[in-house]
């Protein structure tokens, strides 16, 4: 094995998603410029994938080569594109885009379109495109967990809220498209609004979480004020800032 220079592995990574809501190239350029003004440090050199879900009807108007260049000039690294009509896949591919198969992170129409959003993206091995056509079965809006969530366990509710009736342990992970409520100590990682819903919130009886995240904005336990640790709190987004308030 040691003679191999690398291993090829599939793994989950956190990526920013640029969810297009317009196809007019100059409009996109304007928004990109704005972003660069406001948050250039945040965006600098971070990999991004472009999602065309909302513009798939008008996607023929897109100039893929130019889009790639524009994004790169903003300081982002364009790695791939998804939710393109099949007819356009070739064009995008020829312009150097990696085509990403749709994983599990369909973005809800209610999400605000103009920001980049961090979601879990299976960027290497996602081959499951069965839900591409939007004919998925009834989505789960609420997942209630009666038992403690243990280290190593992951609760995932991509399109709804998670309610844990007990505690969560260090090393556990809650991932919700919506909000998360924990009626006990919150010790693991918790990510609400994983599909970009910035109105998602996190509630818990006893804040000891390793990581709190809403729509990609996160804080680690070490960044949290000491007087909030161990308290019953609500976590929410105010603009770009993750706020923690006692309840």
Q: Give me the residues that bind another protein (CB under 8 A), please.
A: 147-153, 166-167, 169-172, 185, 187
- Least distance to another protein from the beta carbon of 68, Å? 43
Report yes or no: 200 and 179 within 8 Å, Cβ to Cβ: yes
> 186-209 burial, b for 16+ CB within 10 Å, e for fewer?
bbbbbbbbbbbbbebbbbbbbbbb
> 32-54 burial, b for 16+ CB within 10 Å, e for fewer?
beebeeeeeeebeeeebbbbbbb
Going by C-alpha positions, the residue among 78, 72, 75 that lies closest to residue 40 is: 75
Q: Please tell me the distance from the alpha carbon of residue 123 to that of residue 102, in angstroms, as a whole number.
A: 9
- Least distance to another protein from the beta carbon of 222, Å? 17
Question: Tokens for 160?
Answer: 């709804």
Report yes or no: 228 and 244 within 8 Å, Cβ to Cβ: yes
Going by C-alpha positions, the residue among 136, 64, 76 that lies closest to residue 106 is: 136
Give 85 or 230: the residue with its C-beta nearer to another protein: 230
Give 54 or 187: the residue with its C-beta nearer to another protein: 187
- Least distance to another protein from the beta carbon of 182, Å? 13
For 88, the enclosing helix (H) or strand (E) is helix 86-94
- Least distance to another protein from the beta carbon of 232, Å? 16
- Least distance to another protein from the beta carbon of 4, Å? 25
Give 207 or 215: the residue with its C-beta nearer to another protein: 207
Give 178 or 188: the residue with its C-beta nearer to another protein: 188
Give 142 or 145: the residue with its C-beta nearer to another protein: 145
Give 25 or 145: the residue with its C-beta nearer to another protein: 145
Going by C-alpha positions, the residue among 167, 129, 161, 171 that lies closest to residue 146 is: 167
- Least distance to another protein from the beta carbon of 168, Å? 10
Q: Tell the residue number behind the tokens 């990609």, with chain if given.
A: 216
């Amino acid at each position: 094995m040691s003679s191999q220079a690398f291993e090829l592995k599939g793994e989950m990574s956190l990526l920013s998603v640029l969810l297009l809501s317009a196809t007019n190239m100059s409009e996109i350029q304007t928004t990109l410029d704005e972003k660069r003004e406001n948050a250039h440090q945040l965006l600098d050199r971070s990999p991004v994938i472009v999602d065309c879900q909302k513009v798939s009807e008008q996607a023929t108007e897109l100039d893929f080569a130019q889009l790639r260049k524009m994004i790169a000039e903003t300081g982002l690294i364009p790695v791939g594109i998804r939710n393109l009509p099949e007819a356009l896949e070739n064009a995008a591919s020829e312009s150097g885009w990696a085509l990403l198969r749709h994983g599990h992170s369909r973005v809800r129409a209610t999400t605000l379109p103009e920001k980049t959003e961090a979601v879990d993206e299976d960027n290497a091995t996602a081959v499951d495109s069965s839900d591409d056509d939007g004919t998925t079965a009834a989505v789960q809006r609420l997942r209630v967990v009666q038992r403690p969530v243990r280290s190593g366990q992951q609760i995932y509710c991509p399109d709804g809220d998670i309610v844990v009736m007990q505690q969560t342990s260090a090393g556990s992970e809650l991932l919700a498209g919506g909000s998360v409520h924990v009626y006990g100590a919150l010790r693991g990682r918790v990510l609400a609004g994983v599909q970009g819903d910035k109105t998602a919130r996190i509630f818990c009886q006893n804040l000891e979480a390793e990581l709190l995240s809403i729509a990609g904005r996160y804080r680690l336990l070490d960044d949290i004020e000491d007087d909030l640790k161990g308290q019953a709190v609500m976590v929410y987004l105010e603009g770009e800032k993750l706020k923690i308030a006692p309840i």
